[in-house]
Amino acid sequence: MFWADKIAQDIKEKNLPLAWVDDMKTPSGRIHVGSLFGVVFHDLVYKALKDQGVNAKYTYVFENHDPMDDIPSYLPREKFEKYLGMPLFKVPSPVEGYKDFAEYYALEFKETFNKIGSNPEIIWTKDLYTSGKMNPGIKKVLDNAEEIRKIYQEMYKKEIASDWYPFQVYCEKCGKVSTTRVYNWDGEKVHYRCVVDATDWTKGCGSEGATSPFSDESGMKGKMPWKVEWAVKWQAIGVTIEGAGKDHMSRGGSHDLATLVCERVLKYPVPYPIRYEFMLIGGKKMSSSKGQGFAASDMLDILPAELVRFLIVKKDINQQTNFDPAEKNTIPTLFDEYQKAADAYCNKTDEDLARIFEFSQVDGIKKLPAVRFSVLAQWVQMPNMQDEIKKQGLEEWAKYARVYIEKYAPDSEKFVVQKSLPDVAKNLSEKQKEFLKTIASELDKAFNAEDFQTQIYESGKALGLSGKETFAAIYLSLIGKDHGPKAAWLILSLDKEFVKKRFEEISNVILGSKATPESHNESDSGQARMTDFQQARTISPEIFSLSKEVTEKFPSISVGVAVIKGVNIEKTNPDLEKEKQEVLESLHGLTTEALGQYQEIIAYRKLYKEMGVDWHSRRPSPEALLRRVALHKGLYTVNTCVDAYNLVVMKHRVSMGAFDLDKTVFPTEVRFAKDDEEILLLGDTEPTKYKPTELGYFDGNGGFSLDINYRDAQRTAAQLETRNLFINVDGFYDITPEMVEKSLQEACDLIIKYCGGTVEVFGVKK
Ligand SMILES: [Zn+2]
């Protein structure tokens, strides 16, 4: 049974003449989304009670009589500083058109909870006091000040002064409440001082006086400390059900104190408590006191009202949970769950989930979109889908899909139809181009999207293309990425003539001859090949450059740079293992002496000598790899990316590295290290210091390789979760730019063969 129904059942057995549910909040600034949880949880109990035929009422108390004890960071301090210590209803509203500060923020919050379907009756504490309803409680509390001191002493295990009274007067002279101290109660009047140094955030006026503590229509005289007041309020209103978040409800917390006041002083039955855990928003505890945070009203900017309500209703009240809209899939998953709950409701499959759906409704049960939110998030990025969205009645959700794409979606879910042919599409294989030509000629036939999707797949297959190659051809030519929304829907959302022209344009692009004679041909690579470069392209300094000092000292240096996007790196691959075995066999008989004869190995040793590094203790990476082979230690298995390019390193003895593009802060460069620069190497726990004579690859966060190719940094390592790669290959002395380019080309080919992806940048800097 849903938790609120269980509580309602429990309460029903008490046979109360009226079940009065209440919750409260001090409107001291923008009210944080966290406070919505209390409103809705109490609302659920109230509605569950009504469903069981219990006479119930739900009120919400805005504590506008509390003092302003802090100025929210988004308000001008100089304007509000003089009001610190005064009750919020005496502080002016930050925005014109509202009675006071408290009203402005309270109404903003009320509007939000009304929008998500909670409509408690509002009570303002100032009215509660001036109506005289609190006065009997105030009298009891003052008459029993000694008992209340005892309760405080018991709970907090500290001595309470015998002239302390549970009441604070609104100073008759300066109007502040936080600064006054009552030191006597004579049965008619409380005697007080407004203490100059009572707090460290506002000053008292130093005056003394005696006044009746009983508020009436003429105004408020003072208030009780809130934990005592909480209990007095229960009795004054007649509350029978009220809970709070865990921080107030834990042992020794404010609820325990209010309970003792109820039992020992007021003789009023403690309301039925609803105890709940918090939800963190983006990993932060919900609190409105510090900074602007995530206000309740902000929630409605990112989710429809019923989804905000659903997020709260479905929460396990006994578990702390987290909602991070910026985390991948958080928002699409919430919509999916909502649709699942709707199914449970319609098909009567899961009773609790059905009840959650029912309780999440704001005004009646609306017909739900049949399309998943993630699909809708693609539709809103496609041109010409407005009609379809309208036809299916998806405008409301589409609005939020646009917000999601703009604010929270990862780049992999975003796309833009390119106005001109994307550069990456120029490298499609001949078969892919032929395929696009076929599709262009089919466009005039009228298809529905489902059939067209099948047709696309079949056309690719007929030409010997894999599904991946087939769809990549479409995506690369339309949106410049190798993945995207369902291809048929994408194409049909576009102007037919535009697509036709684009596909024909691609099939007319003529590629140059293959750059390297021994590069794999199409049939054995089995992947979309993007590396048919006629010649290396120039690399923009925004991506990579060589420092002047480096080119002056090492005029022979050349660095090949490539970016491959959309890779899928795996732990191992059986075909790759086979290829590694073959390379091992081809190196059979290699000795450490023979190794030192290779011109490339000699080149790197010379570089190390120039950098002041002993190559006996730090081996350049090609040498280190081949030494393992010579010493029969076998090959490392790191992952399919690193293993693939290591094959090229062993073959050509030219060093290279592949890094996580998304963890690299561009621009990058090869330069000498600066004083005190350090690098945390892969596999190490302590950073290593560079010497100023040592070279490395550097990005916006510092070095990501030590001695060019000795070892790489942890932070940029290409790992299983890496999606985009930044690759570099470096040559010195006898290692020519042509050798560098050839090695880079082969590395790209092999990485794409085993990890997929598309080359987006390729070139050699010298
Ligand atoms: Zn004063």
**Minimum mean pLDDT among 12-21, 293-302, 481-490: which range?**
293-302
C-alpha closest to that of 61 among 84, 83, 42? 42
Q: Please tell me the distance between residue 334's alpha carbon and the centre of ligand 1 in angstroms.
A: 52
The span from the first CA to the last CA of the chain, in angstroms, equals 71
Partners of 216 in the beta sheet? Answer: 219
pLDDT of residue 510: 52
pLDDT band at residue 689 under the 50/70/90 scheme: very high
Q: What digits encode the pLDDT tens for the residues 418-450? A: 988 888 888 888 899 999 999 998 888 867 888
516 pLDDT higher than 50: no
Q: Please tell me the distance between residue 219's alpha carbon and the centre of ligand 1 in angstroms.
A: 17
What is the amino acid identity at position 35?
S
Q: Please tell me the distance between residue 129's alpha carbon and the centre of ligand 1 in angstroms.
A: 21
DSSP states along 125-176? HHHHHHTTTTHHHHHHHHHTHHHHHHHHHHHH-S---TT--S-EE--TTT--
Structure tokens at 597: 């004869």
pLDDT of residue 592: 86
428 neighbors 435 (Cβ within 8 angstroms): no
pLDDT band at residue 508 under the 50/70/90 scheme: confident
570 neighbors 637 (Cβ within 8 angstroms): no
Q: Please tell me the distance between residue 180's alpha carbon and the centre of ligand 1 in angstroms.
A: 7
Average pLDDT of every residue of the chain: 91
pLDDT band at residue 27 under the 50/70/90 scheme: very high
Q: What digits encode the pLDDT tens for the residues 248-276? A: 998 889 999 999 999 999 999 999 999 99
The mean per-residue pLDDT over the stretch 678-704 comes to: 93
DSSP code of residue 262:
I
Q: Please tell me the distance between residue 216's alpha carbon and the centre of ligand 1 in angstroms.
A: 21
Q: Please tell me the distance between residue 80's alpha carbon and the centre of ligand 1 in angstroms.
A: 17
Q: What digits encode the pLDDT tens for the residues 219-230? A: 999 999 999 999
Q: Please tell me the distance between residue 699's alpha carbon and the centre of ligand 1 in angstroms.
A: 60
Q: Please tell me the distance between residue 191's alpha carbon and the centre of ligand 1 in angstroms.
A: 13
Q: Please tell me the distance between residue 179's alpha carbon and the centre of ligand 1 in angstroms.
A: 7
Q: By percentage, how much of the chain surpasses pLDDT 70?
A: 95
Q: Distance between CA 520 and CA 84 in Å, rounded?
A: 76
Q: Please tell me the distance between residue 84's alpha carbon and the centre of ligand 1 in angstroms.
A: 12
pLDDT of residue 530: 35
Q: Distance between CA 754 and CA 567 in Å, rounded?
A: 9
Structure tokens at 601: 């190995």
Report field, pTM of the whole predicted structure over 0.75: no
pLDDT of residue 365: 83
Q: Please tell me the distance between residue 170's alpha carbon and the centre of ligand 1 in angstroms.
A: 8
Q: What digits encode the pLDDT tens for the residues 384-412? A: 888 889 999 999 999 999 999 998 998 88
Q: What digits encode the pLDDT tens for the residues 235-245? A: 999 999 999 99
Q: Please tell me the distance between residue 175's alpha carbon and the centre of ligand 1 in angstroms.
A: 6
Q: Please tell me the distance between residue 87's alpha carbon and the centre of ligand 1 in angstroms.
A: 13
Q: Please tell me the distance between residue 345's alpha carbon and the centre of ligand 1 in angstroms.
A: 59
Q: Please tell me the distance between residue 181's alpha carbon and the centre of ligand 1 in angstroms.
A: 10
Task: State the CB neighbour count (10 A cutoff) for residue 701.
Answer: 12
Beta strands 275-276; 244-245: pairing state: parallel
327 vs 612, more confident: 612
Structure tokens at 703: 């070095």
pLDDT of residue 537: 66
**Minimum mean pLDDT among 102-111, 112-121, 586-595, 667-676: which range?**
586-595
Q: Please tell me the distance between residue 666's alpha carbon and the centre of ligand 1 in angstroms.
A: 59
Beta strands 688-689; 705-706: pairing state: unpaired
pLDDT of residue 633: 85
Alpha helices in 653-762 (DSSP H): 737-755
pLDDT band at residue 532 under the 50/70/90 scheme: very low
221 neighbors 211 (Cβ within 8 angstroms): yes
Q: Please tell me the distance between residue 20's alpha carbon and the centre of ligand 1 in angstroms.
A: 38
Q: Please tell me the distance between residue 90's alpha carbon and the centre of ligand 1 in angstroms.
A: 14
The mean per-residue pLDDT over the stretch 306-310 comes to: 97
Structure tokens at 536: 């290396």
What backbone phi and psi angles, to 5 degrees, belong to 711? -150, 160
Q: Please tell me the distance between residue 203's alpha carbon and the centre of ligand 1 in angstroms.
A: 8
**Minimum mean pLDDT among 97-101, 285-289, 656-660: which range?**
285-289
Q: Please tell me the distance between residue 552's alpha carbon and the centre of ligand 1 in angstroms.
A: 75
pLDDT of residue 522: 36
292 pLDDT higher than 90: no
The mean per-residue pLDDT over the stretch 29-52 comes to: 95
644 pLDDT higher than 90: yes
Q: Distance between CA 299 and CA 295 in Å, rounded?
A: 7
Q: Distance between CA 177 and CA 89 in Å, rounded?
A: 12
Q: Please tell me the distance between residue 209's alpha carbon and the centre of ligand 1 in angstroms.
A: 10
61 neighbors 123 (Cβ within 8 angstroms): yes
Q: Distance between CA 694 and CA 706 in Å, rounded?
A: 8
3-state secondary structure of 411: helix
pLDDT of residue 197: 95
56 pLDDT higher than 60: yes
Beta strands 668-672; 544-546: pairing state: parallel
pLDDT band at residue 735 under the 50/70/90 scheme: very high
Q: Please tell me the distance between residue 204's alpha carbon and the centre of ligand 1 in angstroms.
A: 5
Burial class (CB in 10 A: 0-12, 13-18, 19+), 349: exposed
The gap from C-alpha 720 to its chain's centroid, in whole angstroms, comes to: 21
Structure tokens at 746: 């082969």
Q: Please tell me the distance between residue 195's alpha carbon and the centre of ligand 1 in angstroms.
A: 7
pLDDT of residue 284: 52
pLDDT band at residue 529 under the 50/70/90 scheme: very low
Q: Please tell me the distance between residue 222's alpha carbon and the centre of ligand 1 in angstroms.
A: 12
Q: Please tell me the distance between residue 165's alpha carbon and the centre of ligand 1 in angstroms.
A: 18
